[in-house]
Amino acid sequence: MTNIKPQAFEAAPAPPGTVWRPDDTAPAVPVCPDTVYREDILKTIEKTLHGLDGELRKLSVDIHDHPELAYQEHHAHDVLTAFMAEHGFKVTKHHHLETAWLASFENGTGGRTIGINSEMDALQGVGHACGHNLIAISGVAVACAIKAVFEKFNISGKIQILGTPAEEGGSGKVKLLDCGAYKEMTACLMCHPAPGPKGSVSLSSCLALERIHVEYFGHTAHAALSPWEGRNALDAAVLGYNNISALRQQLKPTHRVHGIFEGKDWAPNIIPDYAKFICYVRAPTRAEQKETMKRVLPCFEAAALATGCTSKVTVMGATYDLRQNKALGDEVAHIVRSKYGSIDYEWGIKSASTDFGNVTYAIPALHPGFGVCFPPPSAVV
């Protein structure tokens, strides 16, 4: 955001004859008379980020080397809050959640509040393969760049950067929303690495997601001596899984239903009296996802009835699709096409999910993806 005025969050009108098309074939778009884009401000942003390059890389590698799972991001919490304090931000540690944090900077009086998110958590078994260390440093870099712009051009406004834990399965941003952590923000920004061409930026959406835990309760028995006395909870979970597999034939190809089994005290010669099926249901929008849920839930009940077991379905919480703000997205598209690379609406995290989707339902927000390229296998020695 380059200045703070009422029209800053409204779509700038295109010049006569300009055609806006959401694809890479769109021509370079001339600057609109009412655009918020300013070359001098962009140069300040670039200079600031260039000066922080070494520090940001060191911070990214540090977080990458200390992967922490949901709500355990203590090292990331400490190094990120220290970084923000060193760069002139007022820091609140353990903000609403144990590993969440807030860093704020205010210039002048009045103006709007720009929110930024920095994710920190890793994935179980694979560390920072999802690139949340890059999301973390992207967030602090954007905050520092906006701070430099506020100071140099004497722009009134406020920056709030939230360190958000537990994106992977913990819905940390949803909890922060419920706590009121976003209530002061006029708009919120974050970005995510994703496969894509070098220099590309993606403005795709993502899949809405609902997490379900289905527990099956049966009765133990010796699997060889007296199996008729048992009620097999694992069979119920497997049958529920197979019911889902049959349902998939009638689901749209853009919808996803998948999951795993968990158990306790299992032995091959004992009929299990307990099994859990952890299931994710995804669709392109929250509305579509809710409709698919209506078809998925009976699959679990039918499995319990068929095996003589009982079941308990617990809905763990939903994350929504991304509603990319058009005014913010059009500004990003103009700048990227004019200065850096290409814009697409198909790459990014289109087939994944994020709890930032809930933020985009609550306030104007933007979640670009930036292309991360690696050399082909033949080029790796």
Q: What is the pLDDT of residues 147-178, one digit of tens each?
A: 999 999 999 999 999 999 999 989 999 999 99
Provide CATH code, domain 6-205+322-379: 3.40.630.10
Does the structure show a pLDDT above 50 at 55?
yes
Report the mean per-residue pLDDT for the chain.
Answer: 89
Neighbours of 259 (CB within 10 A): 19
Q: Tokens representing 57?
A: 């890389």
Decide which of 3.40.50.1000, 2.102.10.10, 3.30.420.10, 3.30.70.360 is the CATH code for 208-319. 3.30.70.360
Query: Would 6-205+322-379 and 208-319 be classified into the same CATH topology?
Result: no
**pLDDT tens digits, one per residue of 213-245:** 999 999 999 999 999 999 999 999 999 999 999
Rounded Cα gap, residues 122 and 63, in angstroms: 9
Q: How many CA atoms lie within 13 A of 104 on its CB side?
A: 15
Question: What pLDDT does residue 342 have?
Answer: 87
The predicted model scores a pTM of 0.85
The 256-262 sheet, strands edge to edge: 256-262, 274-283, 208-217, 310-319
List the single range of 29-33, 193-197, 357-361 with lowest mean pLDDT: 29-33
List the single range of 108-117, 301-310, 316-325, 334-343 with lowest mean pLDDT: 334-343
Domain ranges of the chain: 6-205+322-379, 208-319
110-133 average pLDDT score: 94
**pLDDT tens digits, one per residue of 321-339:** 999 999 999 999 999 998 8
296-319 average pLDDT score: 97
List, in sequence order, the alpha helices (H) in the chain: 39-64, 74-86, 132-152, 172-179, 233-248, 286-307, 326-339, 356-362
At 9, give phi and psi (nearest 5°). Answer: -105, 20
